[in-house]
Chain A
């Protein structure tokens, strides 16, 4: 794998190339990996301008160290894709499947507020209870229903982030402050003398998981702390402003009056009075972020476990277990009574699994063929 040392004059692709090849053509997925890396190195060169990574000032381009790492860890670029595809044994559109199941939480509070089976919140709660993580990176709504990345340090805070968000949140961005996170954990929880001792869980979309795995591939300090990667099924993501303009014109509701959104066959929007609007999904097509059109992932292949609503019976989530670590976690969460596995009544488990896998495979293909 090592490069030929004698020819070290290979041109390194840098943030400039990222701008030209990914950001300006609107292929950026706003995960924040590039900025998180660069800032965690204290290079002070790029920042998130809303959902777009940009050079901080006109002078920043000169100050760029040209290490090229931002370009390589971007989930939308090719160079490291081959490495992580091999490392995580991705062979088809569904990725590795050690197990697939329907499951739901046994926790009444989470049932109330969570999406589908409330699985992500429950698994994170489980990890906190068993002292297996010190913090989790999730997203939660601000007052305007705008998703923002959030680091939570205990299970109580988690409840605020339960439920799905349909516009993007730059979930990798918080890693830029890894040392602040470490200090926070140090203050509250335990003795940390090595960054490798921090244990964070990460929850994100397929593209965000891809970025984390690329960062893992390079053993970057910024991602060293992430020990669990949880992926979310993702058909497409919406631009916040465009989405809520369309929501307003369809339902006359403004973000502050909406309490929950869910995509099934159609888009379901619930307001404060618990009134549910059903709007055809294709009415929101114009709000879909551009990079989602060329995305070939649906079930978050680069994760330990991925979760989604598609294919599960009501009040349940679909769960795809992808790594041994994920397997151990889900099995012990079931054994300890945190989650309940769905048992199909009209067919055998293996028939059920086959049916669900072909459904998810069809859904992924329908996405890529769009």
Chain B
């Protein structure tokens, strides 16, 4: 948006059906506890309407030629099967669609949807998309109920994936974000996938959210009872020789944030944060943690987790080594939240090959500490978690930094 505002044309390429990324999935942001989507949604729609920004959703960059100042980029646009200019976002198609059980990434797979779906209410563009793999018409040639139900005639089964070539691209900025360790493997030892009351932080975020599956009423997945005691486990698969060797950077802060938000749902709630080290380097972060302890009934336990079991009521029981006292303790809680580690986004290795940029030893984009927005190739910049795990304020600052560097190249500064 910085670039578009100074008159530079921006082509924004997004793999998913909507822009917004992980931030749209969050309930609140630290350290201010602001509503995440309230900050983000106006920016998304401003971006959508901006005369200098062209949005390509369900799209991927598949080829890049040329050099800094004059790239030409090939974009693969996956078929949406819904005409973006005609869809009015009314949802009649999803209501009549006979298919259910299609995972919705937005709700961290806690919710499923019809084969024609919009990931979240304020998605941008505000347009439905048909899931090719589960649509009965596209796979079996029958049904077509959405096409018949659509008033503005926006459903278009004849769409195909298309390749679009854009010339005259001055610079490329890579900001594809991150993925989270959600694979069963590293989380298995914590009982994730086996015990219903052991969930990931992103799932917890969705459960807390008013737009989430439980409409903001925090309840356990096993029995629908409001929790009285929760445990938040940090450094899940990060800072370990057995998993990701680096620090995931945001977990210390967001676990406290989630505990605070949960406390606001229920003022009797006790939260226990199990940590190795507390890292609160950002502005206002240390006082945020102190507030958590004083005002939000959060207890911080420097510890190592041994194991998690459940009792007959599916309450998780954590066995841990208290590092202050060097004693083994057990704690029974209602919910365990796993602060899963940030990992490079899916498909980054392939994208790096296409862009001919180097990755670092953890497979994030390689950058240097003093010029964090520059990649190994001239004219290609980066910002945010795709090169290093970071919080939102830093990602925003970097984005402006990358935009400034790109503008320099384009305007010949």
Q: Chain B: residues with CB nearer than 8 A to chain A? A: 96, 98-102, 110-112, 114-115, 132, 134, 136-145, 148, 157-160, 213-214, 219, 221-224
Contacts and interface: CB of A to CB of B under 8 A. Distances in A.
A67 to B, nearest CB: 5
Given A218-B98, A218-B99, A219-B134, A194 B145 contact: no
Interface stretch (A5-13, A162-170, A339-347): A5-13
B139 A8 contact: no
Task: Rank and list the top 3 A-B pairs by shortest CB-CB distance, nearest first.
Answer: A191-B224, A221-B100, A68-B142
A68 B139 contact: no
Given A219-B134, A220-B98, A224-B100, A65 B141 contact: no
B138 A3 contact: yes
Interface of A: 1-3, 5-6, 8, 10, 12-13, 37, 41, 65, 67-69, 71-72, 79-80, 190-191, 193-196, 218-222, 224
A72 B158 contact: no
B221 to A, nearest CB: 8
Contacts of A224: 100-101
B142 A69 contact: yes
A37 B98 contact: yes
A12 B157 CA distance: 15
Contacts of A6: 158
Contacts of B158: 5-6, 8
14 contacts: A1-B139, A3-B141, A8-B141, A8-B157, A8-B158, A13-B142, A65-B145, A65-B148, A67-B98, A69-B98, A71-B142, A79-B140, A194-B112, A221-B101
A194 B142 contact: no
Contact of A2 (B139, B142, B148): B139
A234 to B, nearest CB: 28
Nearest to A2: B138
A67 B100 contact: no
Given A5-B158, A68-B142, 8 more contacts: A1-B139, A5-B160, A6-B158, A12-B142, A193-B111, A219-B99, A219-B115, A224-B100
Main secondary structure of the interface of A (DSSP, over half): loop
Interface centre among B101, B138, B221 (most CB of A within 10 A): B101
A191 B110 CA distance: 13
Contacts of A10: 141
Contacts of B100: 195-196, 219-221, 224
A64 to B, nearest CB: 11
B44 to A, nearest CB: 26
A271 to B, nearest CB: 45
B214 A221 contact: no
B111 A194 contact: yes
B140 A194 contact: no
Contacts of A5: 138, 157-160
A194 B213 contact: yes
Contact of A190 (B138, B139, B223): B223
Contacts of B141: 3, 8, 10, 12
Contacts of B148: 65
B99 A220 contact: yes
A68 B143 contact: yes
A6 B156 CA distance: 11
Nearest to B223: A190
Nearest to A3: B141
Nearest to B96: A41
Interface centre among A190, A191, A220 (most CB of B within 10 A): A191
Contacts of A218: 98-99, 136, 140
